[in-house]
Structure 1
Amino acid sequence: MEQINWTEFLNPILLSLKVAIVSSVYVLIFGGLAAWKMTRRNFPGKIVVETTFLLPLVLPPTVVGFILLILLGKRSWIGHGMDYVFHQSIIFTWGAAVIASVVVAFPLVYQTMKTGFSMVSKDLEDAARSIGASEWQVLWYITLPLAWRSIIAAYILGFARGLGEFGATLMIAGNIPHKTQTLPTAIYIAVESGNQTLAWYWAAAIILISFGLLFIANHRTKS
């Protein structure tokens, strides 16, 4: 049995958790706001917008990664803007892994929160508005408390999806040890290099974390 370098073993796990924590917060905010707006408003082209939101769910992750690479590269105005703000390219940094995770997890979070918001009684929201509550007060005091199960489920799903993201992350963040190497990319490289023992340890780690998250999500939504 091959000897495990525990520092080498832990680094991708810690980085993956860091990326998943940060990306899950961002995707919960963006996905939640999008879901709230889309469940409360009708406008021309709404179905086109919703279809666009869901595209990362069906597109190959490498396609998503390629599009992000073009959008965030130095030749794009977005890439130039990020270079100006961060004084370096976002490509091949852990921040790029966060962006990839946010994009691929967005459809799951959006759909879950949209379902939760749709189940909130509009009569209760209208009653709050009738006594002078603003839209943000309705959201904070009525909608969010009543949709809390869906919010928890959306967060956990977003976290788990970000933790397991591979294709888009590899395209825009790469696989730089101690810098951008997440669990999925580390497993891939370990298998490619024939280090089956390390690959199994990492696979077991991500399976246990993901199982725990999904177990909590199922328990919370059914309790």
Structure 2
Amino acid sequence: MTGRSVTSLALPRWLLVPAALGTLFVGLPVVAMALSVDWGSFGSLVTSDASTDALLLSLRTAAVSTMLCLLLGIPLAVVLARTSGTAATLLRSVVLVPLVIPPVVGGIALLQAFGRRGLLGSTLEVAGLQVAFSTTAVVIAQTFVAMPFLVLSLEGALRTAGTRFEEVAATLGAAPTTVFRRVTLPLALPGLVSGTILAFARCLGEFGATITFAGSLQGTTRTLPLEIYLQRESDPRAAVALSLVLVAVAVLVIGLTRARREPVGGVVS
């Protein structure tokens, strides 16, 4: 198909007013936070021992949690995209639960499952494994809240790509695993990349489920959002500075995600 330039649709001018107000509503608090930062001491505020420990812990746990999201979320997204019916609808509803419940409720649910007296936690306790209020609990909490972002993004990409090429590969004699590895995943790669980036960002920003399920122990379970919450009472300047760090990460993530989705040079095929 011959490439053509994307043309802008004519929009009603009155839409610009509420659009501007919406932008102001979202952007003004971020701008206000940036203006209130003590830039002269910004470096010292974000590099204190507690802040550095929290940042490094957040990066480590977010990386591990994202890998778990990929390991569990890719098969789940493929199953959702390639099946239909009541069972698939029910499964999708279960996957969406972490998106719609408050994170603290998710933390309580994790405690009931993996806590010392939980459904699985009591068995793990007998085996000498304590999950709750450990670094492992941080990873589980982050994975719980972030995996739906990866699953939904990848499922949408798979549904958009369709099954034509997979059917052709199967007709030519390719095994199901080969079709999955050589056809399915490459077709959905943009959605997979976007979902992975969003999942990583969600892991970095997770607070409610983490503090409920993992607690707040410096160097062990106190991630950057938890450190910001504690600094808000003891050192508001440090809380603002650390918050700006998280905002910068969020902006970077959004930029990377949009760069993957938008056509280069505004041209589509």
Query: Which category of TM-score, normalised to the shorter sequence, fits these structures?
Result: over 0.9
Match of 1:192 in 2: 233
1:71 equivalent in alignment to 2:113: yes
2:50–2:227: 8 Å Cα contact kept in structure 1?
no
1:27 equivalent in alignment to 2:27: no
Match of 1:220 in 2: 260
**1:1-223 superposed matches below 5 A:** 4=45, 6-83=48-125, 87-193=128-234, 195-223=235-263
Q: Distance in 2 between matches of 1:112 and 1:64?
A: 21
Q: Distance in 2 between matches of 1:64 and 1:145?
A: 33
Letter aligned with residue 162 of structure 2: S
Deviates more, 1:132-141 or 1:162-171: 132-141
Q: CA deviation at 1:74?
A: 2.1
1:124–1:142: 8 Å Cα contact kept in structure 2?
yes
SS in 1 for 2:219: coil
Q: Distance in 2 between matches of 1:187 and 1:152?
A: 29
Q: CA deviation at 1:45?
A: 2.6
SS in 2 for 1:45: helix
Q: 1:171 to 1:142 in 2, by over 3 A?
A: same
TM-score w.r.t. the length of structure 1 is 0.93
Pairwise CA RMSD of aligned residues?
Answer: 1.7
1:28–1:158: 8 Å Cα contact kept in structure 2?
no
**Aligned residues between the structures:** 221
SS in 2 for 1:110: helix
Letter aligned with residue 50 of structure 1: R
| Higher Rg of the two aligned structures | 2
Q: Distance in 2 between matches of 1:84 and 1:134?
A: 43
Cα deviation, 1:33-77, whole Å, max 9, x if unaligned, reads 111011112344321111111011010111111010110012234
SS in 2 for 1:119: helix
- 5+ unaligned residues in a row in structure 2: which ranges? 1-37, 264-269
SS in 2 for 1:179: coil
2:51–2:224: 8 Å Cα contact kept in structure 1?
no
Q: Distance in 2 between matches of 1:119 and 1:28?
A: 20
TM-score w.r.t. the length of structure 2 is 0.77
SS in 2 for 1:117: helix
2:215–2:221: 8 Å Cα contact kept in structure 1?
yes
Q: Distance in 1 between matches of 2:245 and 2:123?
A: 37
Q: CA deviation at 1:202?
A: 1.1
Percentage of matched positions with identical amino acids:
30
2:111–2:118: 8 Å Cα contact kept in structure 1?
no
Q: Distance in 1 between matches of 2:262 and 2:231?
A: 38
1:28–1:154: 8 Å Cα contact kept in structure 2?
no
Q: CA deviation at 1:137?
A: 0.9
- 5+ unaligned residues in a row in structure 1: which ranges? none
Cα deviation, 1:145-196, whole Å, max 9, x if unaligned, reads 1111101000000000000000000001111112111011111111133x11
